Amino acid sequence: MNKEILKLAIPNILANLSIPMLSLVDIALMGHMDVEGGAYILSIGFGVMIFNFIYWAFGFLRMGITGMTAQEVGRGDVNESYRLLFRGLIIAFAGALLLFVFKDLLLQLSLYLIDSNELVNEQTTTYFDIRIYAAPATLGLYAFIGWFLGKQNATLAMVVTIAVNVLNAFISYYMVTNLAMETEGVAYGTVIAQYTGFLLAVILFLIYYKKELVREAFQCIFELTAIKKFILVNSDILIRTLCLIFTLSFFKVMSAKEGELIGAANILLLEFIAIAAYGIDGFAFAAESITGKYFGAKDKVKLKKAIRYCFYWGFGLGLIYSLTYLIFGRNILEVLTDQAAVINFSMHYILWLVIFPVLSVVPFVWDGVYIGLTSSKAMRNAMLFSTFIIFLPAYYVLADYWGNHGLWLAMILFVLARGISQTILAKKVVYDKLL
């Protein structure tokens, strides 16, 4: 079982870590600008936040397709697994078209909610106006990566993800340092890399799966019962993801309202959280694939064992992250920026980052299990509770008395609430399903 989990988790961890590494490169490029570095850090942070809100809203393409495809693999229904990919790609391209139609409205609404200064708004607009054109490739990649994971092929998902992010970082670095393109260079790097990655995903799909693809797989793509199930599962995941994006976006916006120094510091510190989250999510992704497969195959013994072992490995990795941040926190900050004021201020809050990785293991791995078993309704309810009953009230109570520490404590309580509520719900929506 350990070997099977690691076979899925290690490629996912490597692939996932390339995502925050890209963000680190972007922020480091802006953090070492000679003039007004804090504003540039904020502009990239807000630009990424806007697209996180937009694209993560389509995260159901990745998560929903993974769990549903894994179950079809367990049942041995090859043709239906292909139909899930085709349905996902149709939704991806339709969603990209809608983003193009409403892009101006999305930008104006985002700038209104951010409510920052003129320079930050200008740089954020520049970033948005370029990066929005990557939408078809970005959403199409969600469908392909989710499908590769559902087919138990984490290696292909890893190859595509790492290729996209390494290319993105290289192009962004070249454009900013050699062509003096600043924010434009970071945005163009993303657009070029996303389309290159989508083309790579199509090529890998044809190489590895063309022989398995038969005419019957193209039939019943629009079968109403299957589409209804796809929509119901993915609508719950959509609500769950929007709550997560709202929480992170709220955190960034409230940080910036306290001043440029606090805003820039929290943007940097959130990169620590991203590194830990994407790494631990490797075991969550493994849980999606392996639990979906064993649930589809009705193998209850291996399913229970897989859930337990994913938690063991997740806690081990979380502990490594916590120790790393405790010992090397300042060193990591010095890589991200050369602004002493931002570094020194950030160090006042480093202990929150030491706590985060271990606490986050529980909700992350449960997310993977719930997605694999398509128990999306319970996952949605746990997130709604944690966001609106715990996080927001905690912020408005604690921030007045404890300032930025109160904001960080509200975030920690949010993570705790997710883990506790999902654990309580697991008896009914996970283990009772096995009876």
Half-sphere exposure (Cβ direction) of 145: Cα atoms closer than 13 Å: 29
Tokens, residue 91: 């939704």
Q: Is residue 251 part of a domain?
A: no
What span, in angstroms and rounded, lies between the C-alpha atoms of 302 and 281?
Answer: 21
Q: What is the pLDDT of residue 43?
A: 65
**Contact in structure between 388 and 353 (CB atoms under 8 Å):** no
Cβ-in-10-Å burial (0-12, 13-18, 19+) of 179 comes to: exposed
pLDDT band at 36 (very low <50, low <70, confident <90, very high): very low
Distance CA 202, CA 204 (A): 6
Structure tokens at 43: 């502009």
Q: Express each pLDDT in 346-366 by its tens digit.
A: 888 889 989 999 999 999 999
Reference 269, options 365, 320, 318, 337; nearest CA is: 337
Distance CA 411, CA 395 (A): 8
pTM over 0.85: no
What CA–CA distance (Å, rounded) separates 22 from 331? 18
Confidence of residue 137 (pLDDT cuts 50, 70, 90): very high
Rg of the chain taking only CA atoms, in angstroms: 21
Q: Of 275, 315, 306, 276, which Cα lies nearest the Cα of 288? A: 306
Could you tell me which residue, 34 or 302, shows the higher pLDDT? 302
- The amino acid occupying position 5 is I
- Position 402 in a domain: no
pLDDT of residue 22: 54
193 has a pLDDT exceeding 80: yes
> Is residue 430 domain-resident?
no
Q: What is the pLDDT of residue 136?
A: 93
Report the first-to-last Cα separation within the chain, whole angstroms: 21
- Predicted confidence at residue 35, as pLDDT, reads 47
Q: How many structural domains comprise the chain? A: 1
The DSSP symbol for 28 reads H
- Inter-residue contact 163 to 200 (CB < 8 Å): yes
Among positive and negative, which fits the CA dihedral 372, 285, 329, 319?
positive
CA angle 295, 289, 362 (to 5 degrees): 90
Residue 422 domain-assigned (yes or no): no
Least confident of 17-31, 320-334, 369-383: 17-31
Give the lowest-confidence range in 222-236, 324-338, 402-416, 418-432. 222-236
Least confident of 44-48, 307-311, 336-340: 44-48
- Of the pLDDT bands very low, low, confident and very high (cuts 50, 70, 90), residue 303 is confident
Residue 241 lies in a domain: no
Does residue 408 lie in a domain region? no
Query: How many CA atoms lie within 13 Å of 70's alpha carbon, on the beta-carbon side?
Result: 34
Identity of the residue numbered 63: M
What confidence tier does 6 reach under pLDDT thresholds 50, 70, 90?
confident
Average pLDDT over residues 55-71: 78
The more confident residue out of 212 and 250 is 250
CA dist 391 and 357 (Å) reads: 18
Provide the residue range defining the domain that includes 55. 2-232+260-375
Look at residue 417 and tell me whether its pLDDT is greater than 90: yes
**93-109 average pLDDT score:** 89
Averaged over 334-345, what is the pLDDT?
78
175 in any annotated domain: yes
- Rounded CA-CA distance 263/141 in Å is 31
Residue 406 forms part of a structural domain: no
